Structure 1
Amino acid sequence: MVLKLSGEALAAGRGFGVDVTKIHEIAGEIAEVHKLGVEIAIVVGGGNFFRGVAEQAKHMDRVSADNMGMLATVINALAIQDALEKRGVFCRVMSAIEMNQVCEPYIRRRAVRHLEKGRIVIFAAGTGNPYFSTDTAASLRAMEIKADVLLKATKVDGIYDSDPVINKEAVKFDEITYMEILRLGLKVMDATAVSLCKDNNLPMIIFDMNQPGNIQRVICEEKIGSLVTA
């Protein structure tokens, strides 16, 4: 499976930086799922440090801003790796941008081999290209390693027809197709990521990260969150 974590999830509501307590909580949940024998790859965002489309980047060249965002994901990936290794879980960070002193370069066959050996692989630096989000990177890496499912951990408990924080009458979808997401213009993932999953029949589950134990519940096929299929 591929687990997509947002940078904001690691900031635990502080908005900026890394909340060490939260990272260790998340690492603990991932380690418990790993004990079940599940092959786990993680794609992490960088929004808790910098994102190319954010307010602080509006006067910057988009390519430079996106490159900064990709470097932010590497910081998060190293923090997750550290927390997992403190729990005795073997872990590798693989970056789409080469930085050999810090982590391995992303090579698909090597990533698959790490997973086969029972290591957790964290994919950093997005796709290595500007104009592509880490959601697209998650879809792409899931396809490349032939993952069975893409799990997207968010701050809401599924997909709604409008923002449930703003609209208390928002209706939740237990199941929805990628085509409906595109047709309704729902802001679940960007359109590139959604199209990639749709074209390759990759199921995705959107669930609430703030509920302890939810990663394991999803893996054990409990009905939580929203299931997206082609």
Structure 2
Amino acid sequence: MGIKYRRVLLKLSGEALMGELGYGIDPSVVQEIATEVAEVVGEGVQMAIVVGGGNIFRGIKASAAGMDRATADYIGMIATVMNAMTLQDALERMGIPTRVQTAIAMQEVAEPYIRRRAIRHLEKGRVVIFGAGSGNPFFTTDTTAALRAAEIDAEVIFKATKVDGIYDSDPHQNPTARRFQSLTYSHVLTHDLRVMDSTAIALCKENNIPIMVFDLTVRGNIHRAVKGEPVGTIVGGFCEVI
């Protein structure tokens, strides 16, 4: 099977970089992700990445503990830049040209986010990592992923998680939970399945951007996903369980 998606946006949670650690960044996990990204980029896929910061700082959690929400969110944005720079280093050590663009100006370590420049980097075969979320508090990095995907005309969003798709109930608590092969945006919103936050889902629905949810911990899944193989659940079609 050939490559199905030529321009994709990969959404990584900060927790994905943590591996089995309780906090921070596991270099071996970052290296594994970089290796997979390098493989698909080597086949001509244009890859953009939005990374979260929950492995370092979670704004919502800090806000619940009494911190001002806007301040907490800005700190969380800075955490995403730390993750973005770590991922950039791993990719460039593998010979993959990479640019970090941030929604908050950090000119000594990253480019400012400029849509046309980001698209040009992709066209030249560079991986673009978007840091600092959308630059606005009260918005998640899931919403940032949907926004950036629409802006760069991505064909699909890969939502890389620790489960192999979306289920009708928690598979860790319900052994008979059924996995969806495909779902509509409306079904996700109506049933509050929390694949991504509702703002992100609405943005994807409005711009007709499919979301593929799959297990990042399975080696080779990113490569299978760009080929269109059914490695998880795709949001944007009809509802089908398996």
Q: Is TM > 0.5 for Structure 1 vs Structure 2?
A: yes
Deviation at 1:162, TM superposition (A): 1.8
1:67 is aligned to 2:57: no
What SS is found at the alignment partner of 1:210?
coil
RMSD value over aligned CA atoms? 1.0
Is the counterpart of residue 167 in structure 1 residue 174 in structure 2? yes
Instruction: Measure, in 1, the Cα distance between the counterparts of 2:64 and 2:96.
Output: 36
Match of 1:82 in 2: 89
Q: Which residue of 61, 64, 71 corresponds with 1:54?
A: 61
What do the CA deviations read for 1:132-162 (whole angstroms, capped 9, x no partner)? Answer: 0000000000000000111000000001112
Question: What residue in structure 2 maps to residue 224 of structure 1?
Answer: 231
Q: Equivalent residue of 2:76, what SS?
A: helix
Please state if 1:149 is matched with 2:148. Answer: no
Paired position in structure 2 for 1:158: 165
Note the alpha carbon deviations across 1:146-189, whole angstroms, 9 max, x for none: 00111000000001112212222221110001100011111111
Superposition misfits of 4+ residues, deviation over 4 angstroms: none
- Contact preservation (8 Å) 1:8, 1:15: no
Letter in 2 for 1:220: K
Q: Hey, what does 1:106 align to over in structure 2?
A: 113
Check conservation: 1:57, 1:65, Cα contact below 8 A. no
Q: Is the 8 A contact 2:13 2:51 kept in 1?
A: yes
Aligned 8 A contact 1:156 1:207 in 2 = yes
Task: State the match for 1:186 in structure 2.
Answer: 193
- How far apart are the structure 2 equivalents of 1:58 and 1:170? 34
Cα pair 2:63 2:72 within 8 Å, conserved: no
Cα pair 2:62 2:72 within 8 Å, conserved: no
Q: Distance in 1 between matches of 2:64 and 2:18?
A: 19
Amino acid at match of 2:141: T
Q: How many angstroms does 1:226 deviate by?
A: 0.2
Does residue 77 of structure 2 align to residue 40 of structure 1? Answer: no
Contact persistence 1:162–1:171 (CA under 8 A): yes
Q: Is the 1:51–1:57 Cα contact (8 Å) retained in structure 2?
A: no
Q: For structure 1, which segment, 123-132 or 55-64, has the greater mean C-alpha deviation from structure 2 after superposition?
A: 55-64
Find the residue that maps to 1:12 and give its secondary structure.
coil
* Structure-1 residue corresponding to 2:3: none
Matched residue SS, 1:174: strand
What is residue 240 of structure 2 aligned with on the other side? none
Distance 2:169 2:132 in 1: 30
Aligned length: 230
SS in 2 for 1:99: coil
Unaligned runs of 5+ in 2: 1-7, 238-242
Could you give the per-residue CA deviations for residues 28-77 of structure 1, whole angstroms, max 9, x where no partner exists?
00000001100000000000001111257521000000001100000000
C-alpha distance in 1 between matches for 2:169 and 2:131? 30
Residue 4 of structure 1 is aligned with which of 11, 18, 37? 11
* Counterpart residue number, 2:136: 129
In the TM superposition, what is the alpha-carbon distance from 1:15 to its structure 2 partner?
2.7
